[in-house]
Structure 1
């Protein structure tokens, strides 16, 4: 599906784009909302994500109405607002006409589930990207936020699950540290912070990401992390030993 992200904050929009692309969606970022709406291109998109600022003010409802008019076919609109502790902005965003409203910083697992849920309701007869990922013996359910290994549920914290979802959706790709920090924490961490490395270590340990289970999570020095599928599992090694 085609998604338009209308945001003046390029870096945050790029993090969302990375995730949505990995889910199989085609995403475009537009930093100047007015120019986009006047261009006539809104009719090309199936869903809009609006990041209009930190609070919901009197201008939000007219902008949502303009988006709907430009789209011509009542495409769903997700509004990003405020901070995680301000429920008032979420309520105001929904009252302003958004189909869904999320607080920032955006949690990637939640974003994936909400986007697919809206698209399923708006386009019930379309083939949409799955809410689940199956890689070897691992299964990730982005809606239930559950990871299983050979049917056994693995207990993860909220951030560990988001980190795992991001890496599984980008299997085989080098994911930059900066992308992970912005995606999971909504900001860049301190230069000497070990927070990301600690979460990666915990994820590797809790999910048993090792060759005998078919996956390996490697650190690429000073660049980022890569989750790769390992063809030779422990079972294969026993057969050929």
Structure 2
């Protein structure tokens, strides 16, 4: 597995590099946002550790550009106490985040967790637990989803959102309820976050060939998972 580690702070970058290589990963290092894009576009990157505050392009801009083309796992690195960084990172498609100052072993544990989940999604054998709706199966325990027998790559929040809807098929959830349940009562973002995630989730499921159920909109009221008889 090959990690792209991006941070303009030499000391932090070196610490992460040493721990990653000590954990058996290959590493590629980047010092600014444009450097990240150039090295990612060269190929062969399995996960990106992405600092928010970097020269040329910040981590948000880099994450947005990558998400337009790829679902490569991204773990954002944010400053202490900057809730805005954490919230924004998750909204634009980051898989996880770590807060400075951090423990390098904890970062590697998060890297392993994200990659392990991705490997489960990519395995060919069908999952046999969780919710089955139409041709979609959610394995809640392992945090993976299959549509038509094939794994579908979702971010953590996309999966949590789909899981909630799938656990209560037909039940209408308001945007506020989804925001409180999936993002938490202390979330300070906008309810448009829900609309953005629903839109991305629908697109991924439709592209995967979802049949027999769908995420329905009740205009002005919210969303629900609709199962066709």
Q: State the TM-score, normalized to the length of structure 2.
A: 0.46
Larger Cα Rg: Structure 1 or Structure 2? 1
Q: State the TM-score, normalized to the length of structure 1.
A: 0.44
